[in-house]
Chains A and B, each alone.
Chain A
Amino acid sequence: MDEIAKPDQLLEKLADDVKQLLDERNIDDPLMVGIHTGGAWIAGILHAKLALSQPLATLDISFYRDDFSRIGMNPKVRPSSLPPQVEDKHIILVDDVLQTGRTIRAAMNEIFDYGRPASITLICLVDRSGRELPIQADIIGQHLQLGAEQHIKLSGPEPLDFIVT
Protein backbone atom coordinates (compact mmCIF):
# COMPACT_ATOMS: atom_id res chain seq x y z
CA MET A 1 0.00 0.00 0.00
CA ASP A 2 1.19 3.56 -0.72
CA GLU A 3 2.48 5.80 2.05
CA ILE A 4 -0.38 8.00 3.28
CA ALA A 5 0.38 11.67 3.92
CA LYS A 6 -1.12 13.54 6.88
CA PRO A 7 -4.20 15.60 6.01
CA ASP A 8 -2.51 18.82 7.16
CA GLN A 9 0.40 18.26 4.74
CA LEU A 10 -2.01 17.73 1.86
CA LEU A 11 -4.15 20.77 2.69
CA GLU A 12 -1.38 23.38 2.08
CA LYS A 13 -0.79 22.17 -1.44
CA LEU A 14 -4.51 21.63 -2.05
CA ALA A 15 -5.21 25.29 -1.22
CA ASP A 16 -2.46 26.43 -3.64
CA ASP A 17 -3.78 24.18 -6.40
CA VAL A 18 -7.34 25.46 -5.93
CA LYS A 19 -6.17 29.06 -6.08
CA GLN A 20 -4.27 28.38 -9.28
CA LEU A 21 -7.22 26.60 -10.88
CA LEU A 22 -9.61 29.44 -9.96
CA ASP A 23 -7.18 31.92 -11.59
CA GLU A 24 -6.93 29.80 -14.73
CA ARG A 25 -10.70 29.56 -14.99
CA ASN A 26 -11.28 33.24 -14.14
CA ILE A 27 -13.52 32.39 -11.19
CA ASP A 28 -13.31 35.18 -8.64
CA ASP A 29 -16.23 34.63 -6.28
CA PRO A 30 -16.88 30.89 -5.90
CA LEU A 31 -19.33 29.19 -3.53
CA MET A 32 -17.54 26.50 -1.54
CA VAL A 33 -19.69 23.51 -0.59
CA GLY A 34 -18.44 20.77 1.77
CA ILE A 35 -20.10 17.36 1.94
CA HIS A 36 -20.94 16.15 5.48
CA THR A 37 -18.97 15.20 7.47
CA GLY A 38 -15.32 14.94 6.37
CA GLY A 39 -15.77 17.11 3.29
CA ALA A 40 -17.26 19.88 5.42
CA TRP A 41 -14.16 19.87 7.67
CA ILE A 42 -11.82 20.10 4.67
CA ALA A 43 -13.97 22.79 3.06
CA GLY A 44 -13.88 24.82 6.29
CA ILE A 45 -10.08 24.85 6.26
CA LEU A 46 -9.79 25.60 2.52
CA HIS A 47 -12.42 28.34 2.83
CA ALA A 48 -10.31 30.06 5.50
CA LYS A 49 -7.01 29.60 3.65
CA LEU A 50 -8.43 31.05 0.44
CA ALA A 51 -10.28 33.82 2.32
CA LEU A 52 -13.41 33.33 0.20
CA SER A 53 -16.10 35.97 0.58
CA GLN A 54 -19.21 33.83 0.07
CA PRO A 55 -20.10 31.95 3.28
CA LEU A 56 -19.21 28.27 3.42
CA ALA A 57 -22.11 25.94 2.57
CA THR A 58 -22.56 22.31 3.60
CA LEU A 59 -24.47 19.45 2.05
CA ASP A 60 -25.91 16.30 3.65
CA ILE A 61 -26.65 13.94 0.77
CA SER A 62 -28.69 11.43 2.84
CA PHE A 63 -31.93 12.27 1.02
CA TYR A 64 -30.27 11.71 -2.37
CA ARG A 65 -28.46 8.43 -1.74
CA ASP A 66 -28.97 5.65 -4.28
CA ASP A 67 -28.88 2.93 -1.62
CA PHE A 68 -31.82 4.15 0.51
CA SER A 69 -33.86 1.07 -0.36
CA ARG A 70 -30.94 -1.13 0.72
CA ILE A 71 -29.60 0.55 3.86
CA GLY A 72 -32.50 2.74 4.94
CA MET A 73 -32.74 6.16 6.46
CA ASN A 74 -29.63 7.74 7.94
CA PRO A 75 -30.70 8.40 11.53
CA LYS A 76 -28.26 11.29 11.88
CA VAL A 77 -29.10 13.37 8.83
CA ARG A 78 -28.25 17.06 9.19
CA PRO A 79 -29.81 19.97 7.37
CA SER A 80 -27.98 21.11 4.24
CA SER A 81 -26.99 24.76 4.37
CA LEU A 82 -26.90 25.63 0.71
CA PRO A 83 -28.02 29.20 -0.01
CA PRO A 84 -31.38 29.19 -1.79
CA GLN A 85 -29.79 30.78 -4.85
CA VAL A 86 -27.06 28.68 -6.47
CA GLU A 87 -28.19 29.84 -9.90
CA ASP A 88 -25.17 30.87 -12.04
CA LYS A 89 -22.74 30.39 -9.15
CA HIS A 90 -19.34 28.76 -9.58
CA ILE A 91 -19.36 25.93 -7.04
CA ILE A 92 -16.31 24.28 -5.51
CA LEU A 93 -17.52 20.94 -4.20
CA VAL A 94 -15.29 19.44 -1.52
CA ASP A 95 -15.18 15.87 -0.19
CA ASP A 96 -12.65 13.93 1.85
CA VAL A 97 -12.43 10.60 0.02
CA LEU A 98 -13.46 9.91 -3.58
CA GLN A 99 -14.12 6.20 -4.12
CA THR A 100 -17.21 4.97 -5.99
CA GLY A 101 -18.34 8.42 -7.13
CA ARG A 102 -21.86 7.81 -5.81
CA THR A 103 -21.66 10.49 -3.11
CA ILE A 104 -20.65 13.08 -5.72
CA ARG A 105 -23.49 11.95 -8.01
CA ALA A 106 -25.94 12.46 -5.11
CA ALA A 107 -24.40 15.82 -4.19
CA MET A 108 -24.70 17.13 -7.75
CA ASN A 109 -28.33 16.03 -7.91
CA GLU A 110 -29.05 17.89 -4.69
CA ILE A 111 -27.26 21.05 -5.91
CA PHE A 112 -29.36 21.07 -9.07
CA ASP A 113 -32.53 20.97 -6.97
CA TYR A 114 -31.45 24.37 -5.62
CA GLY A 115 -30.73 25.84 -9.06
CA ARG A 116 -28.48 25.67 -12.12
CA PRO A 117 -24.90 26.50 -11.18
CA ALA A 118 -22.49 28.05 -13.70
CA SER A 119 -19.95 25.31 -12.99
CA ILE A 120 -18.96 22.68 -10.42
CA THR A 121 -15.31 21.99 -9.61
CA LEU A 122 -14.58 18.89 -7.54
CA ILE A 123 -11.81 18.86 -4.92
CA CYS A 124 -10.97 15.71 -2.96
CA LEU A 125 -8.35 15.15 -0.30
CA VAL A 126 -7.90 11.51 -1.33
CA ASP A 127 -8.71 9.78 -4.61
CA ARG A 128 -8.73 6.05 -4.01
CA SER A 129 -9.37 3.12 -6.33
CA GLY A 130 -12.88 1.67 -6.63
CA ARG A 131 -14.73 4.00 -9.01
CA GLU A 132 -18.18 2.81 -10.10
CA LEU A 133 -19.34 5.96 -11.92
CA PRO A 134 -17.63 8.18 -14.52
CA ILE A 135 -16.76 10.95 -12.03
CA GLN A 136 -13.27 12.53 -11.67
CA ALA A 137 -12.00 15.21 -9.31
CA ASP A 138 -10.41 18.40 -10.70
CA ILE A 139 -7.92 18.61 -7.85
CA ILE A 140 -6.71 15.78 -5.65
CA GLY A 141 -4.54 15.80 -2.51
CA GLN A 142 -3.27 12.26 -2.89
CA HIS A 143 -3.95 9.20 -5.08
CA LEU A 144 -4.14 5.86 -3.25
CA GLN A 145 -4.36 2.31 -4.59
CA LEU A 146 -6.38 0.40 -2.02
CA GLY A 147 -7.87 -3.08 -2.20
CA ALA A 148 -11.67 -3.44 -2.34
CA GLU A 149 -11.64 -4.76 1.22
CA GLN A 150 -9.61 -1.79 2.54
CA HIS A 151 -11.32 1.32 3.90
CA ILE A 152 -9.97 4.81 4.47
CA LYS A 153 -11.83 7.33 6.58
CA LEU A 154 -11.08 10.83 7.78
CA SER A 155 -11.38 11.42 11.53
CA GLY A 156 -11.62 14.89 13.01
CA PRO A 157 -12.23 17.73 13.03
CA GLU A 158 -9.39 18.38 15.51
CA PRO A 159 -6.92 16.92 14.69
CA LEU A 160 -7.62 15.60 11.20
CA ASP A 161 -6.25 12.16 10.53
CA PHE A 162 -6.79 9.17 8.26
CA ILE A 163 -7.99 5.84 9.62
CA VAL A 164 -7.22 2.86 7.36
CA THR A 165 -8.85 -0.46 8.14
Chain B
Amino acid sequence: MVNKASRRTNPLIGNDSWNIQLDSKGRLKHLLTIEGLGSEILTSILDTAESFANVNQQRVKKVPLLRGKTIVNLFFEASTRTRTTFELAAKRLSADILNVNISTSATSKGESLLDTLQNLQAMLCDMFIVRHSDSGAAHFIAGNVAPHISVINAGDGRHAHPTQALLDMFTIRRNKGHDFGRLRVAIVGDLLHSRVARSQIHALNILNTGEVRVIAPKTLIPTDIEDMGVNVFNDLESGIRDADVIITLRLQKERMQGALLPSEHEYYSLYGLTAERLCAARDDAIIMHPGPINRGVEIESRVADGARSVILDQVTYGISVRMAVMSMVLGREPEAADAEAHA
Protein backbone atom coordinates (compact mmCIF):
# COMPACT_ATOMS: atom_id res chain seq x y z
CA MET B 1 0.00 0.00 0.00
CA VAL B 2 1.47 3.32 -1.05
CA ASN B 3 0.38 6.49 0.61
CA LYS B 4 -1.23 8.57 -2.15
CA ALA B 5 -0.39 11.88 -0.57
CA SER B 6 3.30 11.08 -0.99
CA ARG B 7 3.13 10.83 -4.77
CA ARG B 8 3.36 14.57 -5.15
CA THR B 9 6.66 16.38 -5.08
CA ASN B 10 7.87 17.14 -1.61
CA PRO B 11 8.47 20.89 -1.29
CA LEU B 12 11.29 20.34 1.19
CA ILE B 13 13.46 17.99 -0.83
CA GLY B 14 12.36 19.20 -4.22
CA ASN B 15 11.87 15.90 -6.05
CA ASP B 16 9.79 12.76 -6.05
CA SER B 17 12.51 10.50 -4.73
CA TRP B 18 10.68 8.90 -1.80
CA ASN B 19 10.69 5.58 -3.60
CA ILE B 20 14.45 5.20 -3.92
CA GLN B 21 14.35 3.69 -0.44
CA LEU B 22 12.74 0.46 -1.66
CA ASP B 23 14.49 -2.23 -3.71
CA SER B 24 12.99 -3.98 -6.74
CA LYS B 25 11.15 -6.38 -4.43
CA GLY B 26 9.61 -3.58 -2.35
CA ARG B 27 11.90 -4.13 0.64
CA LEU B 28 13.61 -1.39 2.56
CA LYS B 29 17.04 -0.58 1.09
CA HIS B 30 17.43 2.87 2.64
CA LEU B 31 15.29 4.54 5.30
CA LEU B 32 15.04 8.18 4.30
CA THR B 33 11.47 9.14 5.10
CA ILE B 34 8.26 7.59 6.40
CA GLU B 35 6.42 9.14 3.48
CA GLY B 36 5.47 6.57 0.85
CA LEU B 37 6.04 3.53 3.07
CA GLY B 38 3.22 1.01 3.32
CA SER B 39 1.56 -0.01 6.55
CA GLU B 40 2.98 -3.50 6.04
CA ILE B 41 6.61 -2.37 6.17
CA LEU B 42 5.89 -0.02 9.06
CA THR B 43 4.17 -2.74 11.09
CA SER B 44 6.87 -5.26 10.31
CA ILE B 45 9.55 -2.84 11.60
CA LEU B 46 7.56 -2.39 14.83
CA ASP B 47 7.07 -6.18 15.19
CA THR B 48 10.76 -6.86 14.65
CA ALA B 49 11.61 -4.15 17.20
CA GLU B 50 9.42 -6.01 19.68
CA SER B 51 11.72 -9.05 19.36
CA PHE B 52 14.80 -6.87 19.78
CA ALA B 53 13.29 -5.39 22.94
CA ASN B 54 13.73 -8.87 24.40
CA VAL B 55 17.39 -8.98 23.38
CA ASN B 56 17.85 -5.81 25.41
CA GLN B 57 16.63 -7.76 28.46
CA GLN B 58 19.28 -10.48 28.06
CA ARG B 59 22.28 -10.61 30.34
CA VAL B 60 24.47 -10.39 27.25
CA LYS B 61 22.63 -7.66 25.33
CA LYS B 62 24.03 -8.63 21.98
CA VAL B 63 23.15 -10.83 19.02
CA PRO B 64 25.56 -11.92 16.26
CA LEU B 65 23.30 -10.81 13.38
CA LEU B 66 25.43 -8.08 11.77
CA ARG B 67 28.89 -9.47 12.52
CA GLY B 68 31.34 -8.23 9.93
CA LYS B 69 29.16 -5.31 8.81
CA THR B 70 30.57 -1.80 9.09
CA ILE B 71 28.29 1.13 9.84
CA VAL B 72 29.32 4.79 9.78
CA ASN B 73 27.66 7.47 11.89
CA LEU B 74 27.91 10.53 9.68
CA PHE B 75 26.62 13.41 11.77
CA PHE B 76 26.93 16.86 10.22
CA GLU B 77 24.76 18.28 13.01
CA ALA B 78 25.02 17.87 16.77
CA SER B 79 23.15 15.01 18.40
CA THR B 80 23.59 12.96 21.54
CA ARG B 81 20.53 10.75 21.92
CA THR B 82 20.13 9.77 18.28
CA ARG B 83 23.83 9.19 17.63
CA THR B 84 24.41 7.16 20.79
CA THR B 85 21.30 5.01 20.37
CA PHE B 86 22.28 4.26 16.76
CA GLU B 87 25.74 3.38 18.05
CA LEU B 88 24.35 1.12 20.78
CA ALA B 89 21.92 -0.50 18.33
CA ALA B 90 24.78 -1.29 15.93
CA LYS B 91 26.92 -2.68 18.75
CA ARG B 92 24.10 -4.86 20.05
CA LEU B 93 23.80 -6.31 16.55
CA SER B 94 27.59 -7.02 16.60
CA ALA B 95 28.31 -4.59 13.75
CA ASP B 96 31.39 -2.39 13.79
CA ILE B 97 30.54 1.29 13.98
CA LEU B 98 32.61 4.35 13.21
CA ASN B 99 31.74 7.80 14.47
CA VAL B 100 33.06 10.30 11.98
CA ASN B 101 33.46 13.69 13.57
CA ILE B 102 32.68 15.97 10.66
CA SER B 103 33.76 19.18 12.35
CA THR B 104 37.32 17.86 12.70
CA SER B 105 37.31 15.78 9.50
CA ALA B 106 38.70 16.50 6.06
CA THR B 107 35.45 18.29 5.13
CA SER B 108 36.67 21.16 7.23
CA LYS B 109 39.92 21.06 5.24
CA GLY B 110 37.96 21.67 2.06
CA GLU B 111 37.15 18.10 0.97
CA SER B 112 33.77 17.91 -0.75
CA LEU B 113 30.97 15.79 0.68
CA LEU B 114 31.13 13.38 -2.26
CA ASP B 115 34.86 12.92 -1.81
CA THR B 116 34.34 12.17 1.88
CA LEU B 117 31.69 9.58 0.94
CA GLN B 118 33.91 7.95 -1.65
CA ASN B 119 36.70 7.63 0.88
CA LEU B 120 34.39 5.98 3.38
CA GLN B 121 33.15 3.65 0.63
CA ALA B 122 36.75 2.75 -0.13
CA MET B 123 37.00 1.59 3.49
CA LEU B 124 34.35 -1.03 2.62
CA CYS B 125 31.45 0.22 4.73
CA ASP B 126 27.93 -1.15 4.46
CA MET B 127 25.74 1.60 5.88
CA PHE B 128 25.76 5.35 6.48
CA ILE B 129 23.65 6.89 9.23
CA VAL B 130 23.27 10.53 8.19
CA ARG B 131 22.22 13.62 10.09
CA HIS B 132 22.38 16.97 8.33
CA SER B 133 20.89 20.43 8.78
CA ASP B 134 19.83 20.56 5.10
CA SER B 135 16.53 19.00 4.06
CA GLY B 136 17.16 16.29 1.48
CA ALA B 137 20.77 15.59 2.50
CA ALA B 138 20.15 11.89 3.15
CA HIS B 139 18.35 11.53 -0.21
CA PHE B 140 21.28 13.19 -1.92
CA ILE B 141 23.74 10.83 -0.27
CA ALA B 142 21.58 7.76 -0.99
CA GLY B 143 21.51 8.79 -4.66
CA ASN B 144 25.29 9.09 -4.81
CA VAL B 145 26.64 6.05 -2.94
CA ALA B 146 27.67 2.68 -4.36
CA PRO B 147 24.72 0.29 -4.83
CA HIS B 148 25.68 -2.00 -1.95
CA ILE B 149 25.55 0.83 0.63
CA SER B 150 22.39 1.62 2.58
CA VAL B 151 21.60 5.03 4.02
CA ILE B 152 19.52 5.73 7.11
CA ASN B 153 18.29 9.27 7.64
CA ALA B 154 18.89 10.34 11.25
CA GLY B 155 17.30 13.74 10.65
CA ASP B 156 17.60 16.16 7.72
CA GLY B 157 16.73 19.85 8.17
CA ARG B 158 12.99 20.32 8.55
CA HIS B 159 12.21 17.35 6.36
CA ALA B 160 12.22 13.97 8.12
CA HIS B 161 13.42 11.95 11.11
CA PRO B 162 12.00 8.52 10.31
CA THR B 163 13.54 6.43 13.11
CA GLN B 164 12.28 8.93 15.71
CA ALA B 165 8.75 8.61 14.29
CA LEU B 166 9.06 4.82 14.34
CA LEU B 167 10.17 4.70 17.96
CA ASP B 168 7.29 7.05 18.80
CA MET B 169 4.82 4.69 17.10
CA PHE B 170 6.43 1.80 19.01
CA THR B 171 5.97 3.72 22.29
CA ILE B 172 2.31 4.46 21.49
CA ARG B 173 1.69 0.83 20.54
CA ARG B 174 3.32 -0.45 23.73
CA ASN B 175 1.10 1.83 25.86
CA LYS B 176 -2.13 1.99 23.87
CA GLY B 177 -2.28 -1.25 21.88
CA HIS B 178 -2.21 -2.00 18.17
CA ASP B 179 -5.48 -0.30 17.15
CA PHE B 180 -4.51 3.28 16.28
CA GLY B 181 -8.00 3.84 14.87
CA ARG B 182 -9.43 4.57 18.30
CA LEU B 183 -6.67 7.00 19.30
CA ARG B 184 -6.59 10.79 19.39
CA VAL B 185 -3.01 12.05 19.17
CA ALA B 186 -2.11 15.70 19.80
CA ILE B 187 1.25 17.17 18.74
CA VAL B 188 2.05 20.43 20.52
CA GLY B 189 4.71 23.01 19.76
CA ASP B 190 7.13 24.18 17.12
CA LEU B 191 5.72 22.36 14.10
CA LEU B 192 7.26 24.78 11.66
CA HIS B 193 10.81 23.60 12.27
CA SER B 194 10.02 20.05 13.25
CA ARG B 195 11.16 17.16 11.06
CA VAL B 196 10.02 14.90 13.89
CA ALA B 197 6.42 16.11 13.66
CA ARG B 198 6.33 15.65 9.88
CA SER B 199 7.53 12.07 10.16
CA GLN B 200 5.16 11.39 13.05
CA ILE B 201 2.17 12.67 11.09
CA HIS B 202 3.04 10.48 8.10
CA ALA B 203 3.44 7.43 10.37
CA LEU B 204 0.20 8.13 12.27
CA ASN B 205 -1.65 8.47 8.95
CA ILE B 206 -0.21 5.22 7.59
CA LEU B 207 -1.33 3.43 10.77
CA ASN B 208 -4.85 4.92 10.36
CA THR B 209 -4.88 6.94 13.58
CA GLY B 210 -8.37 8.08 14.59
CA GLU B 211 -7.51 11.78 14.85
CA VAL B 212 -4.23 13.68 14.61
CA ARG B 213 -4.21 17.20 16.02
CA VAL B 214 -1.50 19.82 15.90
CA ILE B 215 -1.40 22.68 18.38
CA ALA B 216 0.77 25.81 18.10
CA PRO B 217 0.67 29.55 17.63
CA LYS B 218 -0.07 30.48 14.00
CA THR B 219 3.54 31.58 13.45
CA LEU B 220 4.84 28.07 14.25
CA ILE B 221 2.47 26.11 11.99
CA PRO B 222 3.50 25.40 8.38
CA THR B 223 0.88 26.71 5.95
CA ASP B 224 0.48 23.37 4.16
CA ILE B 225 -0.01 21.28 7.28
CA GLU B 226 -3.75 20.75 6.81
CA ASP B 227 -2.96 18.95 3.54
CA MET B 228 -1.48 16.23 5.74
CA GLY B 229 -4.93 15.48 7.13
CA VAL B 230 -4.49 16.93 10.62
CA ASN B 231 -6.78 19.19 12.63
CA VAL B 232 -5.17 22.48 13.61
CA PHE B 233 -5.68 24.13 17.00
CA ASN B 234 -4.24 27.40 18.27
CA ASP B 235 -5.44 26.88 21.82
CA LEU B 236 -3.67 24.27 23.96
CA GLU B 237 -6.52 23.27 26.24
CA SER B 238 -9.06 22.66 23.50
CA GLY B 239 -6.38 20.91 21.44
CA ILE B 240 -5.50 18.33 24.08
CA ARG B 241 -9.12 17.76 25.20
CA ASP B 242 -9.77 13.99 25.37
CA ALA B 243 -6.38 13.20 23.83
CA ASP B 244 -4.91 9.70 24.42
CA VAL B 245 -1.40 10.72 23.47
CA ILE B 246 0.25 14.14 23.79
CA ILE B 247 3.54 14.72 22.03
CA THR B 248 5.34 17.92 23.00
CA LEU B 249 7.98 19.33 20.68
CA ARG B 250 11.08 21.29 21.56
CA LEU B 251 11.09 24.98 20.74
CA GLN B 252 13.90 25.07 18.16
CA LYS B 253 15.45 28.38 19.02
CA GLU B 254 18.55 27.68 16.92
CA ARG B 255 16.45 27.43 13.76
CA MET B 256 14.34 30.54 14.39
CA GLN B 257 14.99 33.59 12.30
CA GLY B 258 12.92 36.73 12.79
CA ALA B 259 10.25 37.38 15.38
CA LEU B 260 8.19 34.21 15.43
CA LEU B 261 7.63 34.43 19.18
CA PRO B 262 7.41 37.34 21.61
CA SER B 263 9.33 35.45 24.35
CA GLU B 264 9.89 32.00 25.84
CA HIS B 265 8.01 33.15 28.90
CA GLU B 266 4.95 34.08 26.90
CA TYR B 267 5.16 30.81 24.94
CA TYR B 268 5.18 28.86 28.21
CA SER B 269 2.23 30.82 29.58
CA LEU B 270 0.15 29.86 26.51
CA TYR B 271 1.57 26.57 25.24
CA GLY B 272 3.63 25.10 28.07
CA LEU B 273 2.29 21.67 29.06
CA THR B 274 1.60 22.04 32.79
CA ALA B 275 0.00 19.59 35.21
CA GLU B 276 -2.98 21.93 35.47
CA ARG B 277 -3.60 22.07 31.72
CA LEU B 278 -3.13 18.31 31.43
CA CYS B 279 -6.48 17.84 33.19
CA ALA B 280 -8.20 18.46 29.85
CA ALA B 281 -6.68 15.31 28.35
CA ARG B 282 -7.85 11.79 29.14
CA ASP B 283 -6.84 10.49 32.60
CA ASP B 284 -4.73 7.77 30.99
CA ALA B 285 -3.11 10.02 28.37
CA ILE B 286 0.62 9.46 27.90
CA ILE B 287 3.09 12.33 27.50
CA MET B 288 5.87 12.04 24.94
CA HIS B 289 8.75 14.28 23.86
CA PRO B 290 11.51 13.51 21.34
CA GLY B 291 14.07 15.34 23.50
CA PRO B 292 16.03 17.28 24.42
CA ILE B 293 13.42 18.85 26.67
CA ASN B 294 13.41 22.49 27.68
CA ARG B 295 11.90 22.48 31.16
CA GLY B 296 9.78 25.54 31.77
CA VAL B 297 9.59 26.37 28.05
CA GLU B 298 7.43 23.70 26.41
CA ILE B 299 6.86 21.41 29.39
CA GLU B 300 6.63 21.69 33.17
CA SER B 301 9.01 19.51 35.18
CA ARG B 302 6.09 17.98 37.08
CA VAL B 303 4.72 16.69 33.77
CA ALA B 304 8.05 15.63 32.25
CA ASP B 305 8.91 13.62 35.38
CA GLY B 306 5.33 12.58 36.19
CA ALA B 307 3.69 9.17 36.17
CA ARG B 308 2.19 9.62 32.72
CA SER B 309 5.45 10.63 31.06
CA VAL B 310 6.99 7.96 28.81
CA ILE B 311 9.82 10.23 27.65
CA LEU B 312 12.62 7.98 28.94
CA ASP B 313 10.87 4.85 27.63
CA GLN B 314 11.06 6.46 24.19
CA VAL B 315 14.85 6.55 24.54
CA THR B 316 15.02 2.88 25.53
CA TYR B 317 12.69 1.80 22.71
CA GLY B 318 14.80 3.82 20.28
CA ILE B 319 17.52 1.18 20.57
CA SER B 320 15.21 -1.72 19.66
CA VAL B 321 13.61 0.19 16.79
CA ARG B 322 16.98 1.17 15.33
CA MET B 323 18.18 -2.44 15.67
CA ALA B 324 15.10 -3.52 13.70
CA VAL B 325 15.67 -0.98 10.91
CA MET B 326 19.39 -1.77 10.60
CA SER B 327 18.91 -5.53 10.51
CA MET B 328 16.02 -5.36 8.05
CA VAL B 329 17.92 -3.06 5.70
CA LEU B 330 21.19 -5.03 5.87
CA GLY B 331 19.38 -8.37 6.03
CA ARG B 332 17.77 -8.26 2.63
CA GLU B 333 18.49 -11.32 0.53
CA PRO B 334 21.93 -10.61 -0.89
CA GLU B 335 21.07 -12.09 -4.31
CA ALA B 336 18.68 -9.20 -4.82
CA ALA B 337 21.28 -6.69 -3.74
CA ASP B 338 23.86 -8.28 -6.04
CA ALA B 339 21.47 -8.26 -8.96
CA GLU B 340 20.89 -4.56 -8.41
CA ALA B 341 24.60 -3.92 -8.12
CA HIS B 342 25.16 -5.60 -11.48
CA ALA B 343 22.11 -4.10 -13.13
Residues of A at the B interface (CB closer than 8 Å) are: 60, 62-64, 68-73, 75, 77-81, 84, 109-110, 112-115
Contact = CB atoms under 8 A, between A and B. Distances in A.
Contacts of B327: 63, 73
A70 B334 contact: yes
Contact of B63 (A64, A70, A71, A72): A64
B27 to A, nearest CB: 9
B333 A69 contact: no
B60 interface: yes
B331 A73 contact: yes
B57 A75 contact: no
B68 A84 contact: no
29 contacts: A60-B51, A62-B51, A63-B52, A63-B55, A63-B63, A64-B63, A64-B64, A64-B65, A68-B65, A68-B331, A69-B334, A70-B334, A72-B332, A72-B333, A72-B334, A73-B65, A73-B328, A75-B44, A75-B48, A79-B50, A79-B51, A79-B53, A79-B54, A84-B59, A110-B63, A113-B58, A113-B59, A113-B60, A114-B58
Contacts, number: 56
Given A109-B64, A113-B62, A115-B59, A63 B331 contact: no
Contacts of B333: 71-72
B51 A113 contact: no
Nearest to B44: A75
Contact of B331 (A72, A110, A112): A72
Contacts of B328: 73
Given A113-B63, A114-B60, 10 more contacts: A60-B51, A63-B63, A64-B64, A69-B334, A72-B333, A73-B327, A73-B331, A77-B47, A79-B51, A84-B59
Nearest to B40: A75
A70 B44 CA distance: 21
